[in-house]
Structure 1
């Protein structure tokens, strides 16, 4: 009996593909936007100060901040250190998609799904994002692969422990990732899992959820952080509806059958359940943001792979040679079609603003003895990310620093004290948002800052770059008719 030839694994191809997509334009022309600036400035704090801050704000990202603190300590702050963990994590997710697809529907399903993941627009956006969402996707991929292994009868107790650990880590990175549990429950229902499997899954899921529960309860005290998320509207559901339609087509092409473990049984719940569950939660409290369920894109990639595999099977009998080139050809066409969008997501304009660009303007225009104010106070992130560019400037509105106060933007003095401090200055640099992205000023402190600048100062320089604005003001002279 001939010995079967060893075949190399398929998963390294999508891994290298995803790494290439992630490393392509990784620095985004040396730009960092406001969400990433939060990661940057917190990661540079001592661990004790990070822990102090988590008691006041952003506890939902605590594990991620501590991870990035360690990486910044080892490799130094920079756009590569900031974003490379997301690239590596999504490469892990691509490997999981490939292995799952290969096991359940063949080599083309695995290869097609793994390659498709990195091309999905939402994935391309967060592939190069210095935030925890790609890491959550990697954990979701690992937990789903472990579940498939267990449903195939290959797993042991250690696999269940690994499953619980993966779900736990995902939940600590973003507790909304626990929505993967009802998705996996739907897979168990679809495949008619036995009582023993249900019991073991329930224990593992309960253990993971119990580990995340303290974070969920404590984070409710900081719910004001998500108060800016708009209420759910029908327009917001158009995108998810399109994705679900594409996924449903892929599931149908996979010829799903009740009781059979298939790509459809794994991918369709993974895509649909988190999206629908988050929409349901958003009816109670607005939370509907695609990044919170980015891991559901793994389900879409699996279903796309299943559709490509079905196409290969359909073409194969009549055109056996051409069928082997079908998946590479479709991927090549997708790359060309998505190229404008891919380029756009790798440009600074793909984000709301650029912290580094505004800091560079400050370095160029500041003079010894100048003061600086920020409207709103959150724009202080530029000084926290690039302290050298703000060296020598007096932050006249700041009463307690972000580190000392355990906050992201510090504590500012009252409007009256800010007014007095500003009137004592001869030149003030104002860092704020560009008009296109600026929100109406509602805080009393910000209104006081703007009123003083308008009444007692005149503009001598005004620079706008990538969503940020730097305006230089000089005190009017008595000749202008305004008393000092």
Structure 2
């Protein structure tokens, strides 16, 4: 369970009143997803299984939706290949096994595409709006759908309804944008290179494909990530998982092109691509595929902590590593904490002023510190500097344990490590 999944776990376990108060301050963009997961955990509090099962089911439904779209546009053979192609794409597999909203958003966009092709406009508006309320960047599917459906009066009315009904969420989340997306920088060369590879693959597959397939699949694959990349030159909002559903367009093009392949070389190319894809798929199922491992960090703390030990997080947002393991967190004194996450209507709580924080640390004979890996940039905020300086000046470091994406250090008064 990495840090984003830990957020899902701890927020979805809050009472509905606390969840509503949180969303008024932060993370409104994920509000519907948290509400859904709250219901899942009420029905079955099955740990990681319950956390990830909705994403697994959504990915299966999305693959079926890709097959349904391909069937309508290019027939049975294209449907089978496109559905399988979508399911085996490594990014799709990554978010199929993650307790976040992106697989559900992709499922909604894919089935909205299918409903648009069938001109079921009420259903189209409802399903796409569901996707947008799960994550509002699903609205970028609208300009992609316009290429195939603009002339249909029903589509224009449905699109207008989606935009109007999304406005309340957009208004609230815009006020939270600095907190929600402030960690993002402008797209790097890797982002542009990945988009270039996607665009090149889609354009290559579009050659010789039926016009109807190209009109649906190519805009879906290229417009949402392209628009978000362009916007991010001014407002840094781009993360590839925000537009995961664009890969459905790539799968549709692959299915349609391979279904009509009469020569051996396209299938040889597919076989060659399956080798690195399989290796990537195996790697995705290891802890190393995530930035950190909250449960591993909590297990390391459990092994080293004694009753009444103080705990401190450097930086404070790493409190997330223990919030999803309440049995471990409850046995420690969070000496820097001023107001809990629930009381402060925040994700990780608020901390004491610097002077009080320093006094609380000095008064603690033994401290468990949860820190970022070595080499990570240090937060320049005064509270974070006080934590580092106090530990260095008043304590000896007794041990240091590294887990995936985290370091757990035990500190004690000079001469008291034994």
Q: Which residue in 1 is equivalent to 2:204? A: 249
Shift of 1:332: 6.2
Q: Which residue in 1 is equivalent to 2:129? A: 168
Q: Which digits, 9 at most, give the CA deviation of each residue in 1:331-351, with x for residues without a partner?
A: 666543422111111110111
* Structure 1: distance between partners of 2:145 and 2:155: 9
Q: 2:324 aligns with which of 371, 385, 394?
A: 385
Q: Which digits, 9 at most, give the CA deviation of each residue in 1:39-85, with x for residues without a partner?
A: 01101111110001001110100000010011011110411111111
Q: 1:230 aligns with which of 179, 182, 185?
A: 185
Name the SS of the counterpart of 1:204 in structure 2. Answer: helix
Q: TM-score, normalised by structure 2?
A: 0.95
Q: 2:142 aligns with which of 161, 175, 181?
A: 181
* Structure 1: distance between partners of 2:83 and 2:140: 22
Q: Which residue in 2 is equivalent to 1:308? A: 258
- Listed as ranges, the gaps of 5+ residues in structure 2 are none
Alignment of 1:90-101 (within 5 A): 90-101=59-70
* Structure 1: distance between partners of 2:53 and 2:148: 32
Residue 115 of structure 1 contacts residue 331 of structure 1 at CA under 8 Å; is this kept in 2? no
Q: 1:406 to 1:431 in 2, by over 3 A?
A: same
Q: Decide which moves more: 247-256 or 104-113.
A: 247-256
Shift of 1:241: 1.1
Q: Which residue in 2 is equivalent to 1:203? A: 157
1:38 lines up with 2:7 in the alignment: yes
* Structure 2: distance between partners of 1:391 and 1:475: 23
Q: Which residue in 2 is equivalent to 1:29? A: none
Q: Which residue in 2 is equivalent to 1:299? A: 249
Q: Which residue in 2 is equivalent to 1:408? A: 347
Q: Which residue in 2 is equivalent to 1:446? A: 384
Alignment of 1:64-463 (within 5 A): 64-150=33-119, 159-188=120-149, 193=151, 197=152, 199-224=153-178, 225-256=180-211, 262-311=212-261, 314-315=262-263, 334-436=273-375, 438-463=376-401
1:466 lines up with 2:410 in the alignment: no
Q: Flag the structure with larger Rg.
A: 1
* Structure 1: distance between partners of 2:415 and 2:52: 48
Q: Decide which moves more: 399-408 or 379-388.
A: 379-388
Residue 370 of structure 1 contacts residue 427 of structure 1 at CA under 8 Å; is this kept in 2? yes
- CA RMSD of the aligned region, Å? 1.8
Q: Decide which moves more: 352-361 or 336-345.
A: 336-345
Name the SS of the counterpart of 1:283 in structure 2. Answer: coil
Q: Decide which moves more: 121-130 or 444-453.
A: 121-130
Shift of 1:255: 4.1
Residue 267 of structure 1 contacts residue 303 of structure 1 at CA under 8 Å; is this kept in 2? yes
Q: 1:475 aligns with which of 404, 408, 413?
A: 413
- Listed as ranges, the gaps of 5+ residues in structure 1 are 1-31, 151-158, 257-261, 316-321, 479-484
* Structure 2: distance between partners of 1:404 and 1:207: 37
Name the SS of the counterpart of 2:410 in structure 1. Answer: strand
Q: Decide which moves more: 333-342 or 65-74.
A: 333-342
Residue 362 of structure 1 contacts residue 390 of structure 1 at CA under 8 Å; is this kept in 2? no
Residue 396 of structure 2 contacts residue 415 of structure 2 at CA under 8 Å; is this kept in 1? no
* Structure 2: distance between partners of 1:217 and 1:237: 29
* Structure 2: distance between partners of 1:99 and 1:178: 21
